[in-house]
Structure 1
């Protein structure tokens, strides 16, 4: 029995929350006669760190013909080309599907995406039905099994994966978590301005530092028994922070604040210009309708 040479269980795969949101949105907007949603996974490889990041995806139209699926390959190609214009660094990593188990059409889809991917294609299975009020997801890859120079088959083996989020996604996830913890059906409030988020993050960081200092002082005063796991975690956290003196840190912080304020100002100006443009366009449409109505009345 032989395994494919490019199969590696030690590969670290990171999935961004945006991918899950897009899959759920596609599942909610699926046609009435469709039982599942199928699409293409996009992302990038980091050979130095030995990990793969799934950062984007798009759904692909298909038709069921008995036990086979007929993908709209023209639509998939057009969507991939449009995505390459906006995100040229992303590559095809595999495909996703909704459901609670690997479907019979997985082998057919594996053969198609094996031609589209530069490495072994990944298969992300998402149970968007939220059974048990949980979003279940599993990651697979196809492994060739069989006797050399004989009959071969394909087995989908599960891979370990982790959720990874950047700064913008962390802000959105924090807002969603805060809303879910609130009682009642209160509407979601607006996202706080950037400076308010900086103040909240600084306050949260200060509270965490106070908690760490309280633990360290209690251990030094022999009020609490030391824990080797906590000590190693604190050591790793402290050594990961670069040593910067207070003056350079203040200069760096002020420069970042100025850059953020400039970005906020430009974003506000662009938003205002768009709003003015929409109002002017609406006024022109109303004037044209009024002139058209007046012309018809004169006739």
Structure 2
């Protein structure tokens, strides 16, 4: 039996296809969807470049009862081979969100009929943690050292990463440009990316701490490969006791804080200047409003005086005519 893969590289098109499959079939439900992964296996690396969905059903209460349409799989694979003969079946995907009891049976079905060493990729269509939204597994034979049980298949996790061709990179950038929030500046985007990266690092450190605690408590057997990787991580950490390194970090930190301090001063001065401008503008507006009100009051008083004068003249004229009329009668 040939050796298993060392790494799985998933292309963006596959992730988009999986999300589309889930939204069409199992959105707002607890069901999962299953499909086939197509790509190439070269020097221990599996490049997953394409995929297609499969009709799949399973019993929620009995995990041993499931259905997968073999004839549909065969027909679709034949059509994909006509389009690109280099793409072969390299495994299958599931939206999980975790491994299930029937996964080994499905994996064995693909291994016996379509792919000698299939990989399983579980894609998180609704990820709750920061990081890559998929994990890859490879089935291996596990043999008990004491010989109490027969060899059985188990899933081992594989390193994963996202890879893309030049054409895919252009398409993904165009897609991200359409969904990007135009109100955010480039600085805000950089800060958001740094924050997400730090959250992802915090989650990974938490997983390492939890694993080491379980090993110390005897709840998990020690895995020397994992321990060696953790030791390499600690070896890569800088030695803070070196005076030159501490001094360099202090100088760098002071320079950054100086820039932040100057920026805060400039921001405060601009805010005060704007406050003074606003206050001055408000005073001028109040003066203009008072002046207009005074002019309106003067115009109103003049108008009322003129109307009163005209009224008095009219009354005097009417009284004069009345007196002349009385004098004529006499």
Please report the TM-score for the alignment, with normalisation by the length of structure 1: 0.54
Closer, same or farther in 2 for the Cα pair 1:8/1:63, shift >3 Å?
closer
1:105-151 deviations in whole A, cap 9, x for unaligned?
11111110111344311000001123358762100001111247961
Q: Aligned match of 2:33 in 17, 31, 37?
A: 37
State the number of aligned residues.
179
Structure 1 or 2, whichever has the larger Rg, is 2
Match of 2:42 in 1: 46
Secondary structure of 1:29's counterpart equals helix
What is the alpha-carbon distance in structure 2 between the residues aligned to residue 160 and residue 104 of structure 1?
Answer: 22
Segments of structure 2 that go 5 or more residues without pairing to the other structure are: 185-247, 249-330
Q: Distance in 2 between matches of 1:45 and 1:144?
A: 21
For the 8 Å contact 1:60–1:76, the answer to whether it is kept is: yes
1:26-72 CA deviation, whole Å, 9 max, x = no partner?
Answer: 0000057671110111111224xx42211111111022243221111
How far apart are the structure 2 equivalents of 1:118 and 1:97? 17
Q: 2:19 aligns to what SS in structure 1?
A: helix
Per the alignment, residue 57 of structure 1 pairs with 51
Whole-angstrom distance in 1 between the partners of 2:150 and 2:81: 38
The equivalent residue for 1:85 is 82
Does the CA-based 8 Å contact 1:13-1:51 persist in structure 2? Answer: yes
Unpaired runs of 5+ in structure 1? 186-224, 226-299
Q: Is the 8 A contact 1:14 1:162 kept in 2?
A: yes
In structure 2, how many angstroms separate the alpha carbons of the residues matched to 1:135 and 1:112? 28
Deviations 1:159-189 (A, max 9, x none): 012211111111111123333432369xxxx
Q: Measure the CA separation in 1 of the matches of 2:180 and 2:167.
A: 20
Q: Which residue of 2 aligns with 1:15?
A: 10
Is contact 1:41-1:57 (8 Å) kept?
Answer: yes
Provide the rounded CA distance (Å) in 2 between the counterparts of 1:13 and 1:129: 21
Equivalent residues in 2 for 1:172-211, closer than 5 Å:
172-183=171-182
The answer for the alignment partner of 1:121 in structure 2 is 118
Equivalent residue, structure 1, for 2:200 = none
Q: Aligned with 1:131: secondary structure?
A: coil
Give the TM-score normalised by the residue count of structure 2.
0.49
Question: In the alignment, is the contact (CA less than 8 A) between 1:92 and 1:116 conserved in 2?
Answer: no
Structure with more relative contact order (C-alpha pairs < 8 Å, separation 6 or more): 1
User: Aligned in 2, Cα 1:70/1:118: closer, same or farther, shift over 3 Å?
Assistant: closer
SS state of the match for residue 170, structure 1? helix
Partner secondary structure for residue 154 of structure 1: strand
Q: Report the structure, 1 or 2, having the larger helix content.
A: 2
8 A contact 2:4–2:138 mirrored in 1: no
| 3-state SS of 1:102 partner | coil
Match of 1:154 in 2: 153
- Cα drift, residue 12 of structure 1: 3.1
